[in-house]
Structure 1
């Protein structure tokens, strides 16, 4: 895989504001998909965005990023701070001056923004995309020390802090975040245009061998602990006892895929679960295949997939740890406690599926379209943040 180096650097219009986004890697996930929405729709003459990634492996969005005129710059070894610092500062030096460093790597943003300050970057943004407080509560003393240090550095070195929800802001910026003018919420927007498309459910279901009369539960999310796939499969096993036509569509990939495949066999759902892997056509699958959206996350910063499911007009059954801001279409939202057994979740899903919807898809779409989750509104707010911080520096 060829990564851009200093010889590939092209001079960017001197009037554009140059932003360096720091991410783990540009694979398909909530943060990365949102950043791609921004890159596709932002005024790229006024804002030039590059992506510093913590991997040397190719990622799903790399080619599109380059096609759109931006760079993917590898800066590996975040676990080796001295080497990382050397590489980070070399990148800032070699690629010309960046006006803004916008970091999306949660606690590690403390170190990133410290290095950006040392390199003379005047606008430094920490972006909180999730609430990790439940993990922090169980952390050992070494992890706890690291987290506390990073939060102190974020408070010291960030000129701006953004968060996808109030609980995500509290997690990274503290309980009194609202008293500090640097911190604010910026809900991640969704490109809603694909949810206006006409989709043939017969054809889309046929692609996956799903009968047209099947009752399909859907989920979109990385195969990682936070998404709680183990419990999701327990719920599906309960549902099929009551609804033999049930099928489960899981969109995503991740480090726990093998564990999930083993669990599918263990609970006897081998012929009823479809693993699609990471997909570029998620809206089409949500519209064309799913009847109900299930989202039993252990923790979330927001849950963009949940917003998309509401735009598609699906009843959404999700854990009550998901931020309140995700309840965009109230008529479609069903919150459940993770302390409830899988059987109770199953009953709630079946009850919702047997209830006549209070709202049709076009109405649900309109509510999301008018909300802060519309990508166009989202970009205007982000541009205002960038311009405001850049001009006032």
Structure 2
């Protein structure tokens, strides 16, 4: 029997999110080929944890990187215990610490994967904060023998360079879009046939900018409804804003969901993506695969634009967003799944091929 390579993934959580959903798709397709271990720097059990355990994965919870000494100690102890063939890290600037510790532990193959563009986060840091980040970037470049990123912007943010970085966008398993026998009824989300449903998918955090979308609603008539799919620490604050603007009857918070693709396909009419920044923006790719038009912030990487129904508008120009929403809603759009996207560059199968080239190099 062939010995499987032991892969250790390091990440911040196992709840529903872009990185986590991609990684679960990846493991679903490849768990027979590799032995997977996960280090998570949060104490609570995440949404995906039991599913991964059921697939045979092992999960270790360690200290938060906010306490650097405890984090490094726990990392060292756990990496030594696992003794992986490959350490694959997904923790932004902290990849530098992970790559250093895994090198000290004797791990031969150390992969840093950058999933975000945190240049705005860096700019808002003080002198000491910027020094710490630059030190971690230096460690990443010195001790990661494979540097990967989901986009050019993400690479420049985390490595300060493009040369020597593999640009590998996260992939998605789009098979749910093909299963037409499992269609959702929009009435279960309290929407009528005559409603025009605006949708956003993402964590409820400042960077995802759901505030912007809620503030648009009073400028649109009552047939426009907003569906927000995701959870996060801003839920209560967003609910306060909803009540202040008296749009509670027009906003539906669906929470975290494994049915995102079918919700996009069967329930929504227009995808709105006002994020302040994104490493790539997989949610917008999913929306286009489901056949939706997209209005996105101009800060989203250009490679996310895959169809002629993708519109990039600066979030400083809310009136332009209103005009484009009305323009799209007045068209007689016939939504259909985009087969080219489902099987193309952003499919999970293409992503697996790219990652496995590194695993098996």
The 2-side partners of 1:206 and 1:188 are apart by: 32
Q: 1:188 aligns with which of 170, 174, 178?
A: 170
The 2-side partners of 1:105 and 1:199 are apart by: 38
Q: 1:51 aligns with which of 18, 21, 38?
A: 38
State the TM-score, normalizing by the size of structure 1.
Answer: 0.89
Q: 1:200: Cα distance to partner?
A: 7.4
Partner of 1:253: 231
Query: Residues 295 and 222 of structure 1: is their aligned pair in 2 closer, same or farther, counting only changes over 3 Å?
Result: same
State the TM-score, normalizing by the size of structure 2.
Answer: 0.96
Q: How does 1:207-222 map to 2 (within 5 A)?
A: 207-222=188-203
The 1-side partners of 2:182 and 2:344 are apart by: 27
Q: 2:309 aligns with which of 332, 343, 347?
A: 332
Q: 1:235: Cα distance to partner?
A: 1.9
Q: 1:177: Cα distance to partner?
A: 2.0
Residue aligned with 2:226, SS: strand
Count residues with an aligned counterpart. Answer: 361
CA RMSD of aligned residues (A): 1.5
- Give a deviation string over 1:266-298, Cα, whole Å, max 9, x none: 122111100011111111211121000000110
Residue aligned with 1:177, SS: coil
Q: Conserved in 1, the CA contact under 8 Å of 2:292 and 2:335? A: no
Residue aligned with 1:313, SS: coil
Q: 1:353 aligns with which of 325, 329, 337?
A: 329
Partner of 2:255: 277
The 1-side partners of 2:340 and 2:299 are apart by: 23
Query: Residues 111 and 228 of structure 1: is their aligned pair in 2 closer, same or farther, counting only changes over 3 Å?
Result: same
Q: Give 5+ residue unaligned stretches, structure 1.
A: 1-12, 389-393
Q: 1:370: Cα distance to partner?
A: 3.6
Q: 1:380: Cα distance to partner?
A: 1.2
Partner of 2:140: 154
Q: 1:347: Cα distance to partner?
A: 1.0
Q: 1:320: Cα distance to partner?
A: 1.1
Q: 1:238: Cα distance to partner?
A: 1.7
The 2-side partners of 1:254 and 1:199 are apart by: 31
Q: Conserved in 2, the CA contact under 8 Å of 1:200 and 1:288? A: no
Q: Give 5+ residue unaligned stretches, structure 2.
A: none
Q: Conserved in 2, the CA contact under 8 Å of 1:239 and 1:347? A: no
Q: 1:192: Cα distance to partner?
A: 0.8
Structure 1: which 4+ aligned runs deviate by more than 2 Å?
A: none
Matched, 1:90 2:81: no
